[in-house]
Amino acid sequence: MSQFFPTGAAPQPRRFPRALLWLPGAILFALLVALIIRIGEGEQFLRLVRNARPSWLLAALVLQALTYLCAAGSWQRLFERSGAPSPPLRRLASLSLARAYTDRSVPRGGLGGAEVLVRGLERRGVHRSLATSAMLFDLATYYAAYVTALALSLLVLWSHCYVNRSVLGLAALFTVLSVGMPFGLAWMHRRGSRTVPAILRRMPGLSDVLAAVERAPAGFMRDPVLFAEGVLLQLAIFVLDASTLYVCLLALGVHANVGLVFASFVMASVAATLSLLPGGLGSFEWAALAMLGLLGIPVEAAFVGTLLLRGLTCWLPMAPGFFASRRALYGDGRLIRSSARS
């Protein structure tokens, strides 16, 4: 394991304080709150919160729980197709929660949780090469599903005449980056990480992923059925997250077009991803409010609905995600040490 993600006590260079990473997003969010308070009605905000229907919020919680099961199911399918024994689905779901927490805390375009995923799978008895394959499989299917969700969103927006230059520019930039990710992984696996520019190989986290890519078997890339199943499960996560936003709006008594809510969520997610801010703080809220405004949803309801969504998808899972990531990385290190010696 140490050749992928070193666990030794070697001195590490001083890192940029992680708390400061959240500062730009916090400023963006504070500016948004100030704007909403200025143009909205405070009494209306309170009325919306008081009248929120608990049954719809409970349904939103169930939808979010299903997202972690979908991610776990994707890894389980990889293990089944490889003929290897798979950890129980509930343990994989816990690992999915740990990875989601890491990606939101320190965004690296989906690479931040790679270390958590590989180490966590090894601790659950998965062979090193298969654990690394699961990480690559997760990245490739995630970006393929992301592009698919974006294409569907653009189709929905176009059918309702909501496509403009800003939307197209954002979509084009993200498509270039996201399509390049799986192809880049395949290329690096074939040619080796030495072909990657030195400045990229020295980046924390990314250098570990590059080393893992070079050593991992890539049989899953040549299995179209498995890859399609993985993409569909990842796409289901986008649908469930967008459905959570739709249900949050229903809890506030707001009825909107399902397809447009899906498109709004995806475009807001794209803006958050491109911003590189931890958790997409500030950038997601701004983009979601702008997109929901296109639907004619009152600003108060759009803002409260977005906050409810963020609470369920980002803030509520933070505490359990933190402890799940600690268990994946450091809990009972006997298996990790054993793997490192092998």
User: pLDDT, tens digit, for every residue of 255-270?
Assistant: 889 999 999 999 999 9
Whether the per-residue pLDDT at 135 is higher than 70: the answer is yes
Cβ proximity of 305 and 245 under 8 Å: yes
Taking CB atoms within 8 Å and a gap of at least 24, the contacts of 50-54 are 51/252, 51/253, 52/251, 52/252, 52/304, 52/308, 53/250, 53/251, 53/253, 54/251
Look at residue 200 and tell me whether its pLDDT is greater than 70. Answer: no
**Token digits for 147?**
């592009």
The answer on pLDDT for 182 being more than 50 is: yes
230-247 pLDDT per residue, tens: 999 999 999 999 999 999
65-74, 124-133, 330-339: which has the minimum mean pLDDT? 330-339
In the chain, % of residues over pLDDT 90: 23
Q: Which of 139-143, 148-152, 336-340 has the lowest mean pLDDT?
A: 336-340
Mean pLDDT confidence for 106-117? 64
Calculate what percentage of the chain has a pLDDT beyond 70.
Answer: 73
- Quote the pLDDT of residue 187: 58
pLDDT at 18 over 80: no
Report whether pLDDT(38) > 60. Answer: yes
- The residues, any chain, with a CB within 8 Å of residue 247's CB and separated by 6 or more, are 56, 57, 59, 60, 63
What local confidence, expressed as pLDDT, does residue 236 receive? 96
Q: For residue 196, what are the contacts with CB-CB under 8 A and spacing of at least 6?
A: 188, 210
Per-residue confidence (pLDDT) for residue 229, from 0 to 100: 93
pLDDT of 183 reads: 61
Please tell me the pTM assigned to this model.
0.80
Q: Which of 3-7, 12-16, 312-316 has the lowest mean pLDDT?
A: 3-7
> Could you tell me how many residues make up the chain?
342
Write down the mean pLDDT value for the chain.
77
CB 284 within 8 A of CB 310: yes
- Cα separation of 289 and 206, whole Å? 33
Confidence of residue 124 (pLDDT cuts 50, 70, 90): confident
Residues 6+ apart with CB under 8 A from 134: 75, 78, 79, 117, 118, 121, 126
pLDDT of residue 269: 92
More confident position, 190 or 127:
127
Structure tokens at 36: 């909403």
Q: Is the pLDDT of residue 41 over 70?
A: no
> Domain residues of the chain, as ranges?
43-341
